[in-house]
Structure 1
Amino acid sequence: MLTIAIISGLILVSILWVEIIRDSYHALSHHWTPLYRLHIWHHKVFRPDLTAASEEIYRQAHWYNDVPEALVMLLLSFVPLWLGYLFNWPFYWVTSVGSLYTAFFLVCAIARGFGVSGIDELTDITHRPGQFESLPAEWFINRTYHWRHHFDDQKAYYSGTFALVDKILGTALSLKGKTIAITGASGTLGLALLKHLHLTGAKVIALSSKSEPIKLEINGQNLPIKTITWQVGQENELKELLESVDILIINHGINVNGARTPEAIAKSYEVNAFSCWQLMELFFTTVRTNKDIACKEVWLNTSEAEVNPAFSPLYELSKRAIGDIITLRRLDAPCVVRKLILGPFKSNLNPVGVMSADWVTQQIIRQAKADFRNIIVTINPITFIAFPIKEFFVSQYFKLFSKKVG
């Protein structure tokens, strides 16, 4: 068993190594002019529907980009083999699998360069035209994920097979130029989200229950932010606005603390659960095209109250309700849905919170750029264990005992 584990580990490392080389070469191609002159041919090829502009350009792109990339991968694929020989690793020779793996890519790139009939359909999977049938993948690159590199942000989404390099570089999601609408925008976290998302290059829109226009203090200057006034229960009035929104962050909420009156129950569920659910469903109706599937997202602030006590029973109950609804709807959602699982940060809802909203927001954005679908920011280590376990088993339960009708 130990021998099998060692051999399997070395094979995995050799393949992962050449994939890291490929993605690093790709990223460098967008930042170093000599390589970019070759790589630009790859971007000349495809129209937004991923059909090739011409057969000639498609073939040339492989000679200028894919073949040199594969040659660099092949050359550096011998590094693990050399290290294994140098340090006398057991079974080091199996790292040559990485070289064989790379040789396959090189042969396929040459075949596409020569225009071998049908080879593109078998080996150029992430560039096949047609309707997207799945959301951007989280770990293994699919067509939807890679489409964004061509037509969302060319300085992001570099990974070719595994998303590891994009996650490390923070290029698995680009926020630059995205239109992002945030509910609860006048609250502590809402203001911090507006500020830090603006600093990433996003176009932010504040959705607030207050009528006063929101301004952000950035570099000593007051920056006016587009502010839309709305109230819980008026979700349908935002439909036209949501058509032009790329990312909707549902952040509004209420905490009735220890109250347990019928009015407190109704208010907690109305604000924390049903309003959030209705806004999410309304946003889903705006997802129609391949671009929408690839680029539109919903982020929902559910809180770590999903798995931990918040010493406010109705806050916990309503947050757990919307958390489970999101888990259920994720099974059929037409776009990416992220949960924000946040611990106690200082705000009007929680004046005794121990984290700052600015720090929490920076962690949210960092994890989103690494394409975490469940973004956990807390000082409580139990949440990092309890939430993934809860989310996995609840999701599996919903898969087994519910179905999509129609």
Structure 2
Amino acid sequence: MMQMLLASLTEIEARLQINWELVNSGLQFTSWGFFSVLLAEILRDSYHALCHKVNWLSKWHNKHHMAYRRDLSVVSLKIYQESQLYNDIVESSLLVVVLAVIALAVQQIGLWLGVAYASTFLFGASRRYFLGIIDTDYNHLPGPLETAPSVWFVNRSYHWRHHFDDVNAYYSGVFSLVDKILGTSLSLKGKTIAITGASGALGQALMAELLRYNVKIVALTTNPDKLPTVAGLKVISWQLGNEAEIKDSLEKVDILIINHGVNVYSDRTSQAINSSYEVNTFSALRLMDIFLTTVTGPQAKATKEIWVNTSEAEVSPALSPLYELSKRTLGNLVTLKRLDGNCVIRKLILGPFKSQLNPYGVMSAQQVARAILFLARRDFRNIIVTINPLTYVLFPVKEVSTWLYYRIFSKTLKN
């Protein structure tokens, strides 16, 4: 059977007269070409980061920042031309030279694609400067920001944050790889962050870590007496079912972390069912809906975020059936909400850590909090922190399949 199959393949190859040497050369050229374009973007973004760290470079690069208003409209033609001369032309010229040297040294023809790619930046910048043409790229188009920041490819909302949220973050221009490596895909600087379940183990650990970034924290808790008085910390008491009463407090919040929950362990009474779903699912859903009403204004989609602690129980046993069921329902609803694209919504898929809900947890709340912020600053939308290796495999499969199903069979009503 195998001999017949090999013979058939050989016959097909002979009829098609495939030149494998040419095919191999084409694949090699394509591979080196793709690598050269990626290298060009890495070098460009690295130079951009240096422009914010090296004083004499920053003087030239600041011309670029001076050229745009908050809505990304151009301040004036003169300032715009200066930005092309001192920033864009300098940057693209260096890029062309460095890539050309690499292409000459390695002697792979595919690398010249990167040189050609960089030359388009130099040509465009030169044209804008010498002809006095205002012709901004996609990321600098003026107008309101209609989409949330993307994950791997830089869009207008993502780059707007570099100009007007934190100039020492969001350096990437096309791919966000450099920002993910540097931990500058999300800046916490100057943010106001609200946390539910603030008096719990993870809530307090997160607040302690966040205060290191000089953020303002709004602690939303049903047990205000358990929280210490700390600079930068505002405590607001709220009760389950009265989420609408804290809407005004959420208006100026940039990031809402939904972290409260209840674990009834082995209880399966009607009261336990109602309590589990009310606390773990429906209260969180109401808070999400209330916060989403605050995502208004031309730039709100770029800065507002929701982080939801859905737990590893989304895909793994928690030895507490009602905790699993209520958290899985919450996780599925978050996936559904993400489809609307109103703002960035992150999931916190956390393994067992020691807390009031789980006194037998193997991780500490401090470890989990540090890991959450480490991954959030690299713009992970699904933040998995667990010692269970299966979760890192099972959760992405579950999330993609669920997202695809909801994408096909659900819709939203638009005004």
TM-score, normalising length: structure 1: 0.94
Out of 73, 86, 103, the residue aligned to residue 81 of structure 1 is 103
SS at match of 1:226: strand
Out of 28, 31, 44, the residue aligned to residue 53 of structure 2 is 31
1:112 aligns with 2:119: no
Contact 1:213 1:227 in 2 (8 A): no
More deviation in 225-234 or 149-158?
Answer: 225-234
Contact 1:213 1:226 in 2 (8 A): no
Contact 2:244 2:290 in 1 (8 A): yes
Distance in 1 (alpha carbons) for counterparts of 2:325 and 2:300: 33
Distance in 1 (alpha carbons) for counterparts of 2:101 and 2:320: 57
Decide whether aligned partners of structure 1 residues 390 and 237 sit closer, same or farther in structure 2, where only a CA change above 3 A counts. Answer: same
Distance in 2 (alpha carbons) for counterparts of 1:135 and 1:362: 25
Out of 197, 219, 228, the residue aligned to residue 184 of structure 1 is 197
What is the CA-CA distance between 1:125 and the residue it aligns to?
1.3
Matches within 5 A, 1:195-206: 195-206=208-219
CA deviations 1:122-150 (Å, max 9, x no partner) are: xx111111122211111111111000011
What is the CA-CA distance between 1:224 and the residue it aligns to?
7.3
The residue aligned with 2:150 is 137
Distance in 1 (alpha carbons) for counterparts of 2:291 and 2:27: 47
SS at match of 1:205: strand
1:362 aligns with 2:370: yes
Give the counterpart letter for 2:299 in structure 1.
K
The residue aligned with 1:219 is none
Distance in 2 (alpha carbons) for counterparts of 1:318 and 1:358: 25
Give the counterpart letter for 1:243 in structure 2.
E
CA deviations 1:108-127 (Å, max 9, x no partner) are: 0111112454x615xx1111
The residue aligned with 1:163 is 176
Gaps of 5+ in 2: 1-22
SS at match of 1:77: helix
Give the counterpart letter for 1:326 in structure 2.
V
Distance in 2 (alpha carbons) for counterparts of 1:302 and 1:2: 48
1:67 aligns with 2:84: no
Out of 388, 396, 412, the residue aligned to residue 404 of structure 1 is 412
The structure with the larger Rg is 2
The residue aligned with 2:305 is 297
Identity of aligned residues (%): 51
Give the counterpart letter for 2:35 in structure 1.
V
Contact 2:28 2:110 in 1 (8 A): no
1:99 aligns with 2:107: no
Out of 42, 62, 66, the residue aligned to residue 40 of structure 1 is 62
CA deviations 1:154-181 (Å, max 9, x no partner) are: 0000001110000000001000110000
The residue aligned with 1:51 is 73
Out of 217, 220, 223, the residue aligned to residue 210 of structure 1 is 223
Distance in 1 (alpha carbons) for counterparts of 2:411 and 2:30: 38
Contact 1:284 1:333 in 2 (8 A): no
The residue aligned with 1:89 is none
Distance in 1 (alpha carbons) for counterparts of 2:101 and 2:280: 54
Matches within 5 A, 1:273-288: 273-288=281-296
SS at match of 2:135: helix
Contact 2:29 2:109 in 1 (8 A): no
Give the counterpart letter for 1:120 in structure 2.
D
Give the length in aligned residue pairs. 392
Contact 2:217 2:232 in 1 (8 A): no
Distance in 1 (alpha carbons) for counterparts of 2:164 and 2:313: 38
Distance in 2 (alpha carbons) for counterparts of 1:11 and 1:313: 52
What is the CA-CA distance between 1:81 and the residue it aligns to?
1.8
Contact 2:31 2:110 in 1 (8 A): no
What is the CA-CA distance between 1:3 and the residue it aligns to?
4.8
The residue aligned with 1:380 is 388
Distance in 2 (alpha carbons) for counterparts of 1:27 and 1:9: 27
Distance in 2 (alpha carbons) for counterparts of 1:254 and 1:79: 61
1:341 aligns with 2:349: yes
Distance in 1 (alpha carbons) for counterparts of 2:325 and 2:105: 56
SS at match of 2:384: strand
TM-score, normalising length: structure 2: 0.92
The residue aligned with 2:43 is 21
Decide whether aligned partners of structure 1 residues 259 and 6 sit closer, same or farther in structure 2, where only a CA change above 3 A counts. Answer: farther
What is the CA-CA distance between 1:296 and the residue it aligns to?
0.5
SS at match of 1:206: strand
What is the CA-CA distance between 1:202 and the residue it aligns to?
1.1
Which 4+ residue blocks in structure 1 deviate beyond 6 angstroms? none
What is the CA-CA distance between 1:307 and the residue it aligns to?
0.5
What is the CA-CA distance between 1:79 and the residue it aligns to?
4.6
What is the CA-CA distance between 1:290 and the residue it aligns to?
2.5
Gaps of 5+ in 1: 86-91, 217-221
Report the RMSD for the aligned CA atoms in angstroms: 1.4
